[in-house]
Structure 1
Amino acid sequence: MRVHLGCDHAGLDLKAHLVAWLTEHGYEPVDHGPFVYDALDDYPVFCIRAAEAVAAEPGSLGVVIGGSGNGEQMAANKVAGIRSALVWSEETATLAREHNDAQVIAVGGRMHSLDEMTRFVEVFLATPFSGEERHARRIAMMADYERTHDLPPLPSSAQAGPGADDPADPADA
């Protein structure tokens, strides 16, 4: 499996470690940069490229890395069709794949040890999407919104309180 990687200066050492680890474990890493340390680099440059590559190659996965992982996750999520999850534990790595069918994870290089982060990536790559109907339905809602920008319909069980009209409902206009 091909694994696309992108980071900023705070993730450079972890990315280099992951490239070697992925190769040793039979994966095909694709490094989208950066390749040298620059304390002023901009993570969107590299993380968007990694996420674009994942979107263009169904079946591949991606890892984006920064100091906290927050900005990197946000950048990856700007790519149409990408679901990127911020991972900070084995459980969040598992759930990102199992429930959300995330294709990209973001990890914080300053938040965890090298061993912890490597384990998060290992768990993410080894966990399949469950395919459960409720999870597939929710992913489809997000994909539909991304495509149309129409809000998902409220379920009949959702009762708005007094004066809490749904701004997206044309009947409320």
Structure 2
Amino acid sequence: MRVHIATDHAAYELKEHLVARLVDAGHEVVDHGAESFDADDDYPTYVIPCAEAVVADPGSLGIVLGGSGNGEQMAANKVTGVRAALAWSTELATLARQHNNANVVSLGGRMHTEEEAWQIVSTFLGTPFSGEERHARRIAQVDAYETSGKLPTV
């Protein structure tokens, strides 16, 4: 699977760790930065291009990282077609994929050990969307709102 990944300084070391683990697990990784540690960099610079790449690359998934993961999730969700979920446990990663067909997972580098982060990421990547009608219907409602600015009538 192709995996897009991005972070700012706050999770730079975690990104480097995850890239190595992803490659070892056989994933094709596209690293959108940061390329080096810079305490003054800004997460939108890296996260938004990463999210855009996920949308432009059907079948791929994305990982965005920051100190808490909150801002990174918010930035990724500004990209049309992205469903980014902040996951702080494997259970949330599973539900994000199964129920919401999330295509980007956001994690806080200051919130998890490297091993906890790897477990969340590997769970996210390994969990398929359930395809259940109720979940697909809800995703379609959100997608319709995203494109039209109006909730569809049910």
TM-score category, normalised to shorter length: over 0.9
How far is 1:151 from its partner?
Answer: 2.4
Name the residue aligned to 2:133: 133
How far is 1:152 from its partner?
Answer: 3.5
Q: Alignment RMSD, CA only?
A: 0.8
What secondary structure sits across from 2:100 in the alignment? coil
Name the residue aligned to 1:14: 14
What secondary structure sits across from 2:51 in the alignment? helix
Structure 2 unpaired stretches of 5+: none
Question: What letter matches 2:144 in structure 1?
Answer: D
Name the residue aligned to 1:118: 118
How far is 1:139 from its partner?
Answer: 0.3
Q: Percent identity?
A: 62
How far is 1:112 from its partner?
Answer: 1.1
Q: Decide which structure has the larger Cα Rg and report it.
A: 1
Q: 1:75 and 1:111 mapped to 2: Cα distance?
A: 19
Once the two structures are superposed, residues 18-77 of structure 1 have per-residue CA deviations (whole angstroms, 9 ceiling, x without a partner) of 111011001001000011111111101100011000000010000000000000000100
Name the residue aligned to 2:3: 3
Q: 1:57 and 1:151 mapped to 2: Cα distance?
A: 27
Matches within 5 A, 1:22-171: 22-153=22-153
- TM-score, with length taken from structure 1: 0.87
Q: 1:3 and 1:143 mapped to 2: Cα distance?
A: 23
Q: Structure 1 residue runs of 4+, over 3 Å off?
A: none
Q: 1:141 and 1:45 mapped to 2: Cα distance?
A: 29
What secondary structure sits across from 1:75 in the alignment? helix
Q: 1:21 and 1:114 mapped to 2: Cα distance?
A: 10
What secondary structure sits across from 1:41 in the alignment? coil
Greater relative contact order (Cα < 8 A, sep 6+): 2
- TM-score, with length taken from structure 2: 0.98
What secondary structure sits across from 1:143 in the alignment? helix
Once the two structures are superposed, residues 76-132 of structure 1 have per-residue CA deviations (whole angstroms, 9 ceiling, x without a partner) of 001101000000001000001000000000000000111000100000000000000
Structure 1 unpaired stretches of 5+: 156-173
What secondary structure sits across from 1:99 in the alignment? helix
Q: 1:59 and 1:70 mapped to 2: Cα distance?
A: 24
Question: What letter matches 1:13 in structure 2?
Answer: E
What secondary structure sits across from 1:136 in the alignment? helix
